[in-house]
């Protein structure tokens, strides 16, 4: 029996892994990176390029795994190598510079960063190669700019491996890279600081701020996306209302009532009314506020409409104190009676506490007279 026999009558030769070609490719890759010239005096929005490469055609059969490791462990491999920087979304601006070896968390992040940079600098790019492993972008005006990012080994990391030339074309006004998602990102900040804008105002704002012309359709879609991000989806919020109330009741946060309308058993339930009175607000009102209660209602300017009924008090500093509120379909005597009945059950009846109600509608006074 041979020395390497396993005892079962078979001679097994251990596999021999050839690390020489892999290390040679890795050393060649490090040498190529060391030849990259970083320029400090390049213009705004330009790129750090490899002057030694120049402009050339990229083979369609380019294999992105050429630079990958075929090593199961780090033993025997020199771990000292180039450190690749990762992009952060907050770093993106007009003066941002892409570099060879820059890493991204996904191809989506790479495409968004490149498109945003192109819009900010008035350039327009298109993706001629776009799959799950790599993305290659060129200038739409064919000025010689090429940029490519591909996957690194088995990791969920994508690295810029090709960066050739600079944009030599002029500024593009009707830039199609300014899609609805990018416009919506701009509008979210504007809506939070300025307020809601019309489609015409959005077009003028983007034109003045970024020198980009957009269509009314893109402005309208971007406004809808921005509003959904700020306000949320009303249909899903109404669907989660039961879970929200159940959680509040579990922690004993106050009084909560939901009224559901279902005219026929075959029809799905429909939202009717919702009442909320937090226990902290009720205890604070009973302990230190004046016996004055102001009630009023207003419209809810959402896709589903409705009315908001509120009850507020006056604290010792003569400031408004929130007490309770209700969301109803419409403002009428029936909804006011339902709201005031639940409110008096929480804070006590008028006879024992001598509450003073302030309202600008006569029907509230009529309802209170029936509740005394």
Domain that holds residue 295: 237-371
Predicted pLDDT at 16: 45
In this structure, the answer to whether residues 292 and 350 fall within a common structural domain is: yes
| In-domain check, residue 101 | yes
Question: Is 91 in the same domain as 27?
Answer: yes
- 303 and 340 belong to one structural domain: yes
Return all residues near 270 (Cβ < 8 A) that are at least 6 apart. Answer: 260, 261, 262
> Are 258 and 358 in a shared domain?
yes
Task: State pLDDT tens for residues 305-358.
Answer: 889 999 999 988 888 999 999 999 888 888 888 998 899 899 887 777 788 888
User: Is the same domain home to 91 and 133?
Assistant: yes
Residue 64 inside a domain? The answer is no
330 lies in some domain: yes
The parts of the chain modelled with pLDDT lower than 70 are 1-84, 89, 362-363, 366-372
* String of DSSP letters for 89-121: GGG-STT----TT-EESSHHHHHHHHHHHHHHT
Does a structural domain hold residue 70?
Answer: no
24 & 94 share domain: yes
Q: For the chain, how many structural domains are there in total?
A: 3
- Domain contains 157: yes
Whether 25 and 147 share a structural domain: yes
pTM score, whole prediction = 0.51
pLDDT in tens, 146-167: 888 988 877 778 888 888 877 8
**Residue 172 domain-assigned (yes or no):** no
Residue 308 pairs with which residues in a beta bridge? Answer: 298, 327
Residue 147 makes CB contacts below 8 A (sequence gap 6+) with: 47, 98, 114, 125, 136, 137, 138, 160, 162, 163, 164
- The reply to whether 216 and 335 lie within a common domain is no
Is 173 contained in some domain? no
Let me know if residue 298 belongs to a domain: yes
Helix (H, G, I), strand (E, B) or coil at 52: coil
Same domain, 294 and 356: yes
Q: Which pLDDT score is estimated for 363?
A: 66
Same-domain check for residues 35 and 138: yes
């Amino acid at each position: 029996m041979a020395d390497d026999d396993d005892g079962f009558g078979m001679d097994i030769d251990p596999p021999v892994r050839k690390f020489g070609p892999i290390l040679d490719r890795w050393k060649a890759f490090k040498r190529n990176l060391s030849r990259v010239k970083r320029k400090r005096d390049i213009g705004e929005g330009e790129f750090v390029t490899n002057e030694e490469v120049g402009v050339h055609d990229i083979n369609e059969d380019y294999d992105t795994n050429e630079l990958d490791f075929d090593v199961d462990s780090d033993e025997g491999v020199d771990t000292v190598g180039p450190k690749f920087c990762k992009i952060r979304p907050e770093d993106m601006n007009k003066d941002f510079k892409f570099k060879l070896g820059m890493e991204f968390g996904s191809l989506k992040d790479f495409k968004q960063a490149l498109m945003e940079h192109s819009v900010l600098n008035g350039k327009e790019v298109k993706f001629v190669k776009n799959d799950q492993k790599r993305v290659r972008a060129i200038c739409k005006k064919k000025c010689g700019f090429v940029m490519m990012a591909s996957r690194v080994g088995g990791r969920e990391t994508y690295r810029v491996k090709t960066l050739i030339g600079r944009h030599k074309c002029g500024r593009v006004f009707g830039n199609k890279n300014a899609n609805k998602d990018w416009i919506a990102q701009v509008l979210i900040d504007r809506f939070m600081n300025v307020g809601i804008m019309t489609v015409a105002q959005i077009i003028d704002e983007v034109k003045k701020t970024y020198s980009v012309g957009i269509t009314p359709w893109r402005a309208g879609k971007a406004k809808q996306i921005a509003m959904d991000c700020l306000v949320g989806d009303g249909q899903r919020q109404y669907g989660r209302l039961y879970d929200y109330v159940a959680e509040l009741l579990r922690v004993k946060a106050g009084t909560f009532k939901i009224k559901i309308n279902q005219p026929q058993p075959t029809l799905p339930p429909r939202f009717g009314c919702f009442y909320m009175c937090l226990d902290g607000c009720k205890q604070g009102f009973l302990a230190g506020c004046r016996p004055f209660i102001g009630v009023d209602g207003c419209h809810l300017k959402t896709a589903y409409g409705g009315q908001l009924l509120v009850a507020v008090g006056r604290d010792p500093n003569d400031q408004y104190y929130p007490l309770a509120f209700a969301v109803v379909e419409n403002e009428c005597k029936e909804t006011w009676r339902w709201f005031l009945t639940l409110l008096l059950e929480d804070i006590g009846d008028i006879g024992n506490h001598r509450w003073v109600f302030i309202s600008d509608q006569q029907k509230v006074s009529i309802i209170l007279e029936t509740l005394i």
